[in-house]
Each structure stands twice: as C-alpha cells, then as structure tokens.
C-alpha cells in the first residue's frame, strides 16, 4: 500500500516534469455564479479529465509507461528518467464519454465504439477562466 502510494507520487512528479505529446483541449462549459444580491452571472469555465484518463507511453514507442497503475520499472526506474523517457498524450474527451454544449455537461457511463458499448465512467474537474481548478 505504502509502496503503491509512493510509486504513484513518483509518477505524478514525473508527469509534471515533462512536456505533453500534444496539448490537452478541455471542453468549454458555461457555468453560473448566483448570489441573492447580484443574480446569476455566466462565467467561461472548462472541464478537465483526471490524469488517469491519459495514455502515458515511451517517447519513441507505444509501450505504456504505466498500465493499470503498474509502472514499467525499465522505462521508469526513477522520476527524472521517467520524465525523459515518457510522454503524456492529450485526453480524448469523446472516447472518455465527456461532452459539453453551452451550459450543459454530459458524462456517459458507456460509449459506443465499433458497435459495442465500452465502459467510460469519466471523472472530471471544473477549471476556472484562468485554467485553475475551481472548488
Ligand atoms: C474553448 O473556447 C476558446 C475560446 O473561445 C477556444 O479558443 C477553444 O478552442 C475552445 N475549446 C474547445 C475544446 O472547443
Ligand atoms: C517495459 O518496457 C520495456 C522497454 O521498453 C519493454 O521491453 C517491456 O516489454 C515493458 N514491460 C511491460 C510489462 O510492458
Ligand atoms: C477520440 O476518440 C474517438 C472515439 O473513440 C475517435 O473516433 C477519435 O478518432 C479519437 N481522437 C483522437 C485524436 O484520437
């Protein structure tokens, strides 16, 4: 348990240490801040998927650096080497069952791919106009 937590922590710092393969594109969502004095005011926010939804693979091959939360210790013997050897792909929001339209957010439990239902069950966070997490 402690080792798993430590490994996850090391990987997280490794992920933070390098550039993504392509920029993530969080879907835009209009949200509303409502107060009794000011009424409701629209704000430009966006929806970001948790980091587990991203494919992390070796820089020059599709070999995953992490599969089902197990870190490949050949590619990732330590956080610094891991950051050099791995890239993070942008999240695919459609594949993960996340879509927005105006002020409507849709999260799908399953998505249809190749005519088959596939589990999606996305977990998302709300980003403010400055792309920082909103609580
Ligand atoms: C969100 O809105 C901004 C500003 O209008 C735009 O540049 C960006 O492409 C939009 N993002 C997506 C994922 O559509
Ligand atoms: C770990 O990475 C090495 C180097 O790319 C690769 O040869 C090996 O197959 C990987 N192991 C697993 C379990 O994916
Ligand atoms: C994202 O996922 C959808 C559905 O699975 C797929 O059609 C699309 O090609 C993917 N986009 C990218 C950039 O991989």
CA 74 – ligand 2 centroid, Å:
7
Give the predicted TM-score (pTM) of the model. 0.77
User: One digit per residue, pLDDT tens: the chain, 135 residues?
Assistant: 233 333 444 444 445 555 567 788 999 999 999 999 999 999 999 999 998 888 899 999 999 998 877 999 999 999 999 999 999 999 999 999 999 999 999 999 999 999 999 999 999 999 999 999 997
46 Cα nearest atom in ligand 1:
1
**For residues 65 and 74, what is the distance between their CA atoms, to the nearest angstrom?**
9
Asked if residue 20 has its Cβ within 6 Å of ligand 1, the reply is no
What region does 97 belong to: left with phi over 0, alpha with psi -120 to 50, or beta? left
**Closest Cα to residue 120, out of 101, 94, 102?**
94
What separation in angstroms does the CA of 127 have from each of 15, 25, 34, 59, 90?
A: 19, 12, 17, 28, 16
């Amino acid at each position: 348990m402690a080792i798993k937590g430590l490994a996850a922590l090391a990987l997280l710092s490794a992920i933070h240490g390098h550039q993504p393969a392509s920029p993530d594109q969080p879907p835009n969502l209009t949200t509303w801040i409502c107060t009794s004095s000011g009424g409701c005011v629209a704000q430009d926010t966006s929806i970001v998927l948790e980091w587990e939804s991203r494919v992390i693979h070796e820089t020059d091959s599709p070999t995953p650096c992490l599969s089902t939360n197990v870190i490949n210790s050949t590619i990732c013997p330590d956080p610094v080497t891991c950051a050099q050897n791995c890239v993070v792909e942008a999240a695919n929001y459609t594949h993960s069952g996340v879509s927005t339209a105006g002020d409507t957010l849709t999260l799908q439990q399953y998505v249809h791919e190749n005519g088959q239902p596939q589990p999606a069950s996305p977990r998302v966070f709300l980003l403010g106009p400055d792309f920082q997490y909103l609580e």
